[in-house]
């Protein structure tokens, strides 16, 4: 009954979806490492399918050759055989479940690992476009749906196919009249079942949409930023009312689904009972007429229950197979996304010691949605206009930062300063020109080596919902407690951490929200101290600090920056007036570069920026 329900309530719309050429072969590629387990599972399923007819035939023997013939030994021995058969069938079920689990969980592990690693290789632009919930759904829901192709779908098709042939053949041999009567009754069983199945499909789809909306609402309101926004601008009564309406609709649909399922199962049971009654009535007449034996009638009735299930499941087998293939295809959509930033086939090592940085005629345009995105992972309609197409951010920028010196980037908001820092870290690759570090094109450097070389502190540094120690050790996994405390001391925050009850084991909260902006920022700066990179990038790193803390951190930064190449973006120009070079960026172009005193005299853009900050 459950197999019938599961088959008939699958979403039949998948039949209208085309599957790309090569998908099936690609799916089969995942079967190769599991072929031994799959072969053994299929072998068990085949044996189990043959056992379907064994019990009814043994009961026939007990009645006809034992009870009716008055042969006690036949009754006893056959009953013992039924018992052993039940034990053997139970053992097969356990072994089958074990292999099915090994195949399914092994496939889930493989797919999840591939998707997770592939997603991590995507550029930052991918994450700015992608809806996180949809992406997580690919890693969870679709991966689990895909594994069913090798477990329930594969075993179900084989088991139902073999069972149907064997049961139907056995019933025809025992009585072709009753078998044909059973098949004529099949539409009475199948048509109402399919109608009810479509009703459940429709309600289930609506329930999933509403549950997704509720989950999205809770996700947005229950994180720190969302909760703060609601408290500052929202109306709790309105929020509660809106959520209650959605939850009420889910409740109403849940009741409808519950009642529909009840009617569904009661209907199936009733129709099956009526079919059995008809077979008993017709077959009983044949027994009275001595056309059939009583044991044969009992066997046919038992086999009848094993006929409708496989027939119903196989009538919907295309939906089962397509559902599994669509899940695979949705996973493949993610795996087929080509990362824009890739490691070179012939990588080069960066030289030892301090490193210089050079931009040679660098231009950059943010990649379009078609380059990095996947429409099914975005909250976007087919008619969405991509407003980042041809959005030129940098134009023909050239400069050189000698090793061990500081370059400060200044300019109006949106001029391209942060983009320059992201290009150095190779979060993106330039559209034109090249960037060299230590005289080596960064496209030729393995990204892991580049990551180990560069330390970055952004304006809004992210901390994981974990301890202070874990967040710091993210920069240096083997860091000792002494090294961590030295880094905290350099970042002028060791006294604060020591004052906490749990000290280094203090949990910082979601995105570090249990800390103030300045505390969180100094933890991030300590993370860079701990890493000891050869190149340091500070993107508004002291923006959240008050004057006193900023002065302390600036002093510490002077120590850590000594002997290292650094690129600094600062909103307070007073903090970078001693930089060896100051680059003025406007509208994506380098308009001037030089020292503070030179720029103040000769560059109007810089002078205006400096005067605005000074006046404030």
Among 436, 412, 427, CA closest to 362: 436
Beta strands in 506-588 (DSSP E): 535-539, 565-569, 581-586
- Mean pLDDT in residue range 578-596: 87
Share of the chain residues as helix, strand and coil, in percent rounded to the nearest 5: 65, 10, 25
Structure tokens at 228: 């703060």
Distance (Å, whole) CA 493 – CA 518? 10
Beta strands in 419-462 (DSSP E): 432-437, 440-441, 454-457
- Find the Cα–Cα–Cα–Cα dihedral 380, 383, 384, 385, rounded to 10°: 170
- 317-373: per-residue pLDDT in tens? 666 677 777 777 778 877 877 777 787 888 888 888 888 999 999 998 877 766 665
pLDDT at 383 exceeding the cut of 50 = no
**Stated pTM of the model:** 0.68
Among 410, 402, 474, CA closest to 438: 402
pLDDT at 596 exceeding the cut of 70 = yes
- 125-164: per-residue pLDDT in tens? 777 667 666 677 667 777 777 777 667 777 777 888 888 8
Instruction: Return the pLDDT at 436.
Output: 92
- Mean pLDDT in residue range 58-69: 88
β-strand pairing of 565-569 with 535-539: parallel
189's CB contacts (< 8 A; 6+ apart) are: 268, 271, 272, 275, 308, 312
- 103-120: per-residue pLDDT in tens? 888 888 888 888 888 887
The residue to which tokens 């042939």 are assigned: 165
Distance (Å, whole) CA 472 – CA 505? 11
Distance (Å, whole) CA 609 – CA 360? 26
Instruction: Return the pLDDT at 132.
Output: 67
Q: Let me know if 92 is exposed, middle or buried by CB neighbors in 10 A (0-12, 13-18, 19+).
A: middle
Instruction: Return the pLDDT at 80.
Output: 92
CB 142 within 8 A of CB 330: yes
Instruction: Return the pLDDT at 228.
Output: 66
- Number of neighbours of residue 353 by Cβ within 10 angstroms: 10
126's CB contacts (< 8 A; 6+ apart) are: 119, 337, 372, 373
pLDDT at 259 exceeding the cut of 60 = yes
* Type and span of the H or E element at 398: strand 392-401
- Mean pLDDT in residue range 476-485: 86
Q: Pick the range with the lowest mean pLDDT from 227-231, 479-483, 487-491.
A: 227-231
CB 491 within 8 A of CB 526: yes
Coil, helix or strand at residue 303: helix
- 417-437: per-residue pLDDT in tens? 888 988 998 888 888 999 999
Mean pLDDT of the chain: 79
- Find the Cα–Cα–Cα–Cα dihedral 583, 589, 591, 594, rounded to 10°: 20
- Mean pLDDT in residue range 589-596: 88
Coil, helix or strand at residue 501: coil
Instruction: Return the pLDDT at 4.
Output: 58
């Amino acid at each position: 009954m459950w197999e019938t329900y599961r088959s008939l309530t699958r979403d039949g719309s998948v039949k209208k979806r085309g599957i790309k050429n090569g998908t099936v072969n690609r799916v089969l590629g995942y079967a190769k490492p599991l072929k031994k387990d799959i072969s053994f599972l299929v072998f068990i399923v085949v044996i189990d399918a043959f056992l379907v007819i064994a019990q009814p035939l043994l009961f026939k023997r007990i009645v006809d050759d034992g009870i009716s013939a008055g042969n006690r030994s036949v009754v006893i021995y056959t009953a013992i055989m039924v018992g052993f058969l039940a034990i053997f069938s139970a053992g097969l079920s356990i072994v089958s479940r074990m292999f099915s689990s090994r195949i399914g969980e092994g496939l889930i592990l493989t797919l999840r690992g591939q998707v997770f690693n592939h997603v991590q290789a995507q550029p930052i632009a991918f994450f700015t476009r992608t809806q996180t919930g949809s992406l997580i759904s690919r890693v969870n829901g679709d991966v689990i749906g895909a594994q069913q192709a090798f477990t329930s779908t594969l075993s179900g098709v084989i088991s139902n196919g073999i069972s149907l042939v064997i049961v139907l053949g056995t019933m025809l041999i025992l009585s072709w009249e009753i078998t044909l009567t059973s098949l004529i009754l099949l539409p009475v069983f199948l048509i109402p079942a399919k109608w009810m199945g479509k009703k459940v499909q429709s309600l289930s789809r609506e329930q999933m949409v509403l549950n997704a909306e509720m989950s999205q609402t809770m996700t947005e309101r229950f994180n720190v930023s969302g909760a703060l926004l609601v408290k500052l601008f929202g109306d709790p009564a309105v929020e509660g009312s809106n959520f209650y309406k959605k939850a009420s609709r889910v409740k109403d649909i849940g009741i409808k689904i519950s009642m529909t399922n009840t009617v569904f199962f009661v209907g199936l049971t009733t129709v099956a009972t009526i079919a059995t009654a008809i077979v008993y009535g017709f077959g009983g007449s044949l027994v009275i007429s001595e056309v059939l034996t009583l044991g044969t009638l009992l066997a046919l009735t038992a086999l009848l229950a094993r006929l409708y299930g496989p027939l119903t499941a196989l009538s919907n087998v295309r939906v089962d197979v397509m559902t599994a293939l669509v899940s695979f295809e949705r996973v493949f959509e993610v795996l087929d996304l080509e990362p824009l930033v890739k490691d070179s086939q012939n990588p080069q090592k960066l030289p030892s010691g301090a490193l210089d940085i050079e931009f040679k005629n660098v231009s950059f345009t943010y990649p379009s949605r078609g380059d990095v995105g996947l429409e099914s992972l975005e909250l976007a309609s087919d008619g969405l206009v991509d407003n980042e197409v041809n959005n030129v951010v940098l134009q023909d920028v050239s400069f050189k930062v000698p090793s061990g010196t500081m370059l400060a980037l200044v300019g109006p908001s949106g001029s391209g300063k942060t983009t320059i820092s992201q290009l150095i870290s190779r979060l993106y690759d330039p559209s034109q020109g090249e960037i060299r570090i230590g005289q080596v094109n960064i496209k030729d450097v393995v990204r892991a080596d580049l990551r180990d070389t560069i330390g970055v502190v952004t304006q809004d540094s992210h901390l994981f919902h974990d301890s202070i120690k874990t967040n710091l050790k993210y920069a240096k996994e083997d860091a000792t407690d002494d090294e961590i405390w030295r880094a905290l001391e350099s970042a002028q925050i060791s006294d604060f951490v020591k004052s906490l009850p749990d000290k280094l084991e203090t949990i910082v909260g979601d995105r570090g929200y249990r800390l103030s902006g300045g505390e969180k920022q100094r933890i991030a700066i300590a993370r860079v101290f701990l890493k000891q990179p050869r190149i340091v990038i500070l993107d508004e790193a002291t923006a959240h600090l008050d004057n006193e803390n900023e002065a302390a951190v600036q002093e510490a930064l002077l120590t850590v920056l000594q002997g290292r190449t650094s690129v600094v973006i600062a909103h307070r120009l007073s903090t970078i007036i001693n930089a060896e070079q100051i680059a003025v960026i406007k509208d994506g172009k380098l308009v001037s570069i030089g020292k503070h005193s030179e720029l103040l005299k000769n560059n109007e853009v810089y002078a205006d920026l400096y005067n605005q900050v000074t006046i404030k």
